[in-house]
Structure 1
Amino acid sequence: MSNRRQAKNRQLQTISNQLAAHGLTLRGGFAFGDEEAAPLSREGRPAKSALLVGQAGAAPWPHFMKWRQRQPRDLPNPLDTWSRQIIDEVAAHLGASAVYPSDKPYQPFQQWAMRAEGLKPSPLGILMHPEYGLWHAYRGALLFADGIPIQGVRNPIHLCDLCVGKPCLKSCPVGAHSEEGFAYEACLGHVRSADGGPCRSGGCLDRNACPYGVDYRYPAEVQAFHMASFADL
């Protein structure tokens, strides 16, 4: 192995260690094509490669909550703010730039994730992971002006293809998820209603009905946090 590649591999390990200290993890990467409209790197030219940063299960939650206790109670979008703070620090250390799902212009994070990890969407729209099921997320991406050693992706078995009963399409009281897509208004109305208590306190019933990745399922308080954010409660 060349000295250059060894240095790049050490860089990846350093990134992984820095993120792991906050419960975050590298979620694969990819190289942008020569003709692709890539976002800009820190150097101001189109990025050559990207590494996705995210989580498996609720690993970041204790770190986030410890940080949250030191912040104003009315801080908007606290999880995004925390993620940005952590990932920006890692990017600065590496001389990389960072982009986030909530940034404008919005980047195609789901397409990037499918490219980086070979995943496919579930009927709920969330990407199905072969180990984590639906209990994972992407928090940002590190962009590099040059190439990085990225391991080739083997397309995993899509667990949704093995699921005969599709309980994720049968558990919502208002049928918010179907083959036709997500009925956003119906879901939002139910969550905000008097009948939406189970969803507010324990998360999406359809998502919880999925039989895969249950060891990574978010605790109820984490799901309640995300549901409150979704419904602006």
Structure 2
Amino acid sequence: MTTPDLARIERLAATHRLAVFGGFHPAAGDDCPDGTGTLLLIGPSEPGFWAHVTTMPEWQDGAPDPLDRWSKRVLDDIAATFSGQAIFPSDGPPYPPFIRWAQRTGRVWASPVQILVHDRAGLMVSFRGALALPGRIDLPAPPLASPCDTCPDRPCETACPASALTPAGYDVPACHAFLDTSAGQDCLSSGCHTRRACPLSQAYGRLPEQSAYHMRLFHR
């Protein structure tokens, strides 16, 4: 067994263009696997994630769900290196509480439009999986407050051309209806206007091709 420490896990994840998006030490009620001392959330490291993952074997074999299959192969290998377990958003039902776990890290919050915002990825935050590891790994102190608290303009509140994502919440039917119109093609090809409006998202370096891939899955 390789002794887990955060720097070693981050270096190994970085070879796959992945990053640790936060972690916490589980307590009762966190619904983590038995024996978990530390749970880490793993997301794409940008820029460079999409260019890397689309060269992988899963992307070339023509089988369905290449991104999920790649994520499971890579994260299962990383977890095994540290005698841990990889967990994925698609595991279930019942499905793992990734939103609750994300907010437990202290690096993810509910944004002004209610979807999650991350201190690095902004509204482009996504998780390829989680690592449930034995032992308590030392974790850095999280930020003291959400980046939204100091965002002067909060462009996310007014960016949605369909008024589907607002401080009142997310009107999913309205979003899908808009995507069926000619005006909605920009969201389909380049990604959600609201997510792109976030200043942190703009600095994150996510390619439009990646957003288009996820939008096609969302709207198929």
Q: What TM-score range do you get, normalising by the shorter chain?
A: 0.7 to 0.9
Do structure 1's residue 190 and structure 2's residue 178 form an aligned pair?
yes
Cα distance 1:63–1:152, how it changes in 2: closer, same or farther (>3 A)?
Answer: closer
With 110-119 and 199-208 compared, the bigger mean Cα shift is at: 110-119
Measure the CA separation in 2 of the matches of 1:130 and 1:93: 28
Cα distance 1:129–1:71, how it changes in 2: closer, same or farther (>3 A)?
Answer: same
The one-letter amino acid of 2:32's match is P
Who is 2:19 aligned against?
Answer: 25
Cα distance per residue 1:6-58 (max 9 Å; x no partner): x543xx3332222111100122321122x336333xxxx44232122112435
Tell me by how many angstroms 1:99 deviates. 0.7
Measure the CA separation in 1 of the matches of 2:214 and 2:163: 20
Do structure 1's residue 38 and structure 2's residue 28 form an aligned pair?
no
In 1, are the aligned partners of 2:113 and 2:167 still within 8 Å (CA)? no
Alignment counterpart, residue 41 of structure 2, candidates 52, 56, 67: 52
In 2, are the aligned partners of 1:8 and 1:148 still within 8 Å (CA)? no
Tell me by how many angstroms 1:119 deviates. 2.6
In 2, are the aligned partners of 1:123 and 1:168 still within 8 Å (CA)? yes
The one-letter amino acid of 1:15's match is I
Tell me by how many angstroms 1:187 deviates. 0.4
Who is 1:3 aligned against?
Answer: none
Who is 1:84 aligned against?
Answer: 72
Who is 1:108 aligned against?
Answer: 97
Cα distance 1:19–1:166, how it changes in 2: closer, same or farther (>3 A)?
Answer: same
Unaligned runs of 5+ in 2: none
Measure the CA separation in 2 of the matches of 1:128 and 1:156: 14
Measure the CA separation in 2 of the matches of 1:102 and 1:125: 22
* CA RMSD across the alignment: 2.3
Who is 1:4 aligned against?
Answer: none
Do structure 1's residue 221 and structure 2's residue 209 form an aligned pair?
yes
The TM-score, its normalising length taken from structure 2, stands at: 0.86
Measure the CA separation in 1 of the matches of 2:65 and 2:114: 22
The TM-score, its normalising length taken from structure 1, stands at: 0.82
The one-letter amino acid of 2:162's match is V
Q: Per the alignment, in what secondary structure is the counterpart of residue 128 of structure 1?
A: strand
Cα distance per residue 1:96-118 (max 9 Å; x no partner): 11111121121111221222243
Cα distance per residue 1:66-95 (max 9 Å; x no partner): 0144221xx332212211111011112222
Do structure 1's residue 156 and structure 2's residue 135 form an aligned pair?
no
Measure the CA separation in 2 of the matches of 1:194 and 1:165: 28
Unaligned runs of 5+ in 1: 1-6
Who is 1:125 aligned against?
Answer: 114
